[in-house]
């Protein structure tokens, strides 16, 4: 990461905290690093080998955050967040901030945020047994559900008798095409999330639309319409989690696959106050149609995963996960959420029909 980004964040935290007695500015973050193994990785087109080495962000993206709250009185606040990704193995960060938004929050009316933020589909984190780790709900959808989007207007309601709603819409501001975005980025994105939470169970439904830079739904895993329905069931020390997802890309070129269904089911078991064990099964079914360089064709894959975390303290834990993926005859899905298509910078994908085995262990610390 460029050192001046860290300096800006740290300076902002200290300077803002001194400038306004009514404001609270918090400097926080998370660092994550360890070791990872993955087989069936292509060293060149058609040639595979195994890979082992250090890696970061496998349990969760490392980040450095500056969070500000200005108490306006009467349960009302002005807020801001600036968050940058950090990769401890290389010292590099993201090409842009992970989050950067400003907003207003009311105990009675909810919160509105303006700026760059996690896309609303990241809400699946709360119903994914592996909370969107490197192997998890993002793997078989090529990372579609863990994106960040720009120029967002986001509304989060208060909770009413267990119910809450989230709304999000991006306004890229392109000339002559309301749905288009900047070249190389997303077009207009929007969505709604409805949640009901109780002591026994949660239910969550998400509908979202992610367009390409031309304003079209042209690829089921990068620019499509998505519906997710899932939830959590708590039974003593177990939390059972599952979801069903439907993705449709009606503007996909003729002859290519334009639909996909994604399912998962898993559980968390708190064996001791420190030790959490997790298991999950994930399945993707791509609808009828061919593949090309940037689109997956008809096929399927199933991913099995086991893992666990062990808390050393309230801020630090160890983790270990192992995953096994079985592709259908024509599929090239990976344990990692790589780009869709046959040769879209996809050497980490196994060859068509091949299985893949991988694991990662590491340490995660928050501050």
Mean pLDDT of all residues in 280-286: 98
Mean pLDDT of all residues in 186-198: 97
pLDDT at 322: 98
Mean pLDDT of all residues in 54-64: 96
pLDDT at 18: 44
Give the domains, in start order, of the chain with CATH numbers. 3-366 (2.40.160.10)
**How much is the mean pLDDT over the chain?**
94
Q: Is the pLDDT of residue 161 over 80?
A: yes
Mean pLDDT of all residues in 238-263: 98
Q: Is the pLDDT of residue 163 over 50?
A: yes
CA gap 103, 154 in Å, rounded: 9
CA gap 171, 152 in Å, rounded: 6
DSSP 223: B
Six-digit token pair at 344?
């879209």
**Confidence tier at 124 by pLDDT (50, 70, 90):** very high
Residue whose structure tokens are 């000339």: 175
pLDDT at 20: 47
CB 215 within 8 A of CB 190: no
Q: Is the pLDDT of residue 19 over 80?
A: no
pLDDT digits over 270-282, tens only? 999 999 999 999 9
Residue 128: alpha-carbon gap to chain centroid: 10
Q: What sign does the CA torsion over 88, 89, 91, 96 have?
A: negative
pLDDT at 329: 94
CB 187 within 8 A of CB 213: yes
**Confidence tier at 343 by pLDDT (50, 70, 90):** confident
Picking from 303, 304, 256, the residue whose alpha carbon sits closest to that of residue 284 is 303
List phi, psi (to 5°) of 19: -75, -30
**Confidence tier at 37 by pLDDT (50, 70, 90):** very high
pLDDT at 192: 98
Q: Is the pLDDT of residue 2 over 60?
A: no
pLDDT at 3: 44
**Confidence tier at 14 by pLDDT (50, 70, 90):** low
CB 137 within 8 A of CB 124: yes
Please give the share of the chain, as a percent, with pLDDT higher than 70: 94
CA gap 282, 302 in Å, rounded: 6
Q: Is the pLDDT of residue 75 over 70?
A: yes
Between 92 and 196, residue with greater pLDDT: 196
| Other beta carbons within 10 Å of 304 | 15
Task: Write out the DSSP string of 121-152.
Answer: GGGGGGG-TTTT-SSSTTGGGTTGGG-EEEEE
> For the chain, what percentages of helix, strand and coil (3-state, to nearest 5) are there?
10, 55, 40
Picking from 334, 335, 253, the residue whose alpha carbon sits closest to that of residue 292 is 253
**Confidence tier at 11 by pLDDT (50, 70, 90):** low
């Amino acid at each position: 990461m460029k050192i001046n980004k860290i300096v800006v964040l740290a300076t902002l935290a200290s300077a803002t905290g001194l400038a306004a007695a009514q404001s609270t500015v918090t400097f926080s973050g998370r660092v994550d690093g360890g070791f990872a193994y993955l087989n069936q990785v292509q060293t060149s087109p058609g040639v595979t080998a195994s890979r082992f080495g250090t890696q970061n962000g496998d349990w969760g993206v490392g980040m450095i955050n500056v969070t500000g709250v200005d108490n306006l009185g009467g349960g009302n606040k002005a807020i801001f967040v600036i968050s940058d990704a950090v990769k401890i193995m290389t010292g590099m960060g993201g090409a842009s901030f992970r989050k950067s938004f400003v907003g207003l929050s009311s105990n009675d009316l909810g919160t509105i945020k303006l700026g760059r933020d996690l896309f609303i589909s990241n809400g699946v984190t709360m119903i994914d047994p592996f909370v969107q780790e490197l192997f998890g709900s993002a793997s078989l959808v090529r990372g579609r559900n863990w994106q960040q989007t720009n120029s967002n207007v986001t509304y989060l309601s208060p909770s009413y008798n267990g119910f809450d709603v989230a709304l999000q819409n991006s306004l890229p501001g392109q000339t002559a095409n309301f749905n288009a975005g900047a070249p190389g980025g997303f077009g207009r994105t929007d969505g709604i999330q409805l949640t009901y939470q109780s002591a026994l169970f949660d239910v969550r439904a998400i509908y979202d639309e992610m367009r390409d830079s031309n304003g079209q739904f042209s690829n089921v895993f990068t620019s499509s319409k998505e519906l997710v329905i899932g939830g959590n069931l708590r039974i003593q020390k177990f939390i059972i989690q599952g979801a069903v997802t439907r993705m449709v890309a009606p503007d996909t070129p003729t002859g290519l696959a334009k639909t996909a269904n994604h399912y998962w089911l898993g559980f968390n078991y708190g064996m001791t106050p420190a030790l959490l064990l997790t298991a999950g099964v994930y399945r993707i079914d791509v609808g009828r149609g061919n593949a090309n360089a940037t689109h997956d064709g008809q096929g399927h894959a199933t991913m099995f995963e086991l893992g666990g975390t062990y808390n050393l303290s309230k801020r630090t834990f160890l983790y270990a996960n192992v995953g096994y993926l079985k592709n259908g005859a024509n599929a090239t899905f990976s344990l990692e959420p790589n780009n869709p298509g046959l040769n879209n910078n996809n050497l980490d994908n196994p060859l068509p029909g091949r299985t893949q085995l991988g694991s990662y262990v590491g340490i995660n610390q928050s501050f």
